[in-house]
Amino acid sequence: MTQITKDTIIGDILDIAPETAPVFMSIGMHCLGCPASRGETVEQACMVHGVDVDQLLEAINKLIPAAQ
């Protein structure tokens, strides 16, 4: 099982679990294909979009084990 942390790069998450894209879209990250957003950490994305990092990590980590 992969554990996603606040320091995990969003592009890495999308590569191993593309089904997490709707979670990112729900916080306003509508440009997941652009290099800048794929290179951000989860924490950086949360700061930019005004989202609680712990809540986002919980949502993402619920999906990751199901993908593996």
Task: Profile the chain (68 residues) by mean pLDDT over runs of 10 residues.
Answer: 86 90 85 80 90 93 70
Is residue 39 within 8 A of residue 14, CB to CB? The reply is no
Amino acid 55: pLDDT: 93
Amino acid 56: pLDDT: 93
pTM over 0.85: no
Neighbours of 20 (CB within 10 A): 22
Structure tokens at 45: 């994305």
Give the start-to-end residue ranges of the domains of the chain.
10-67
Amino acid 66: pLDDT: 55
CATH number, domain 10-67: 1.10.3910
Amino acid 45: pLDDT: 87
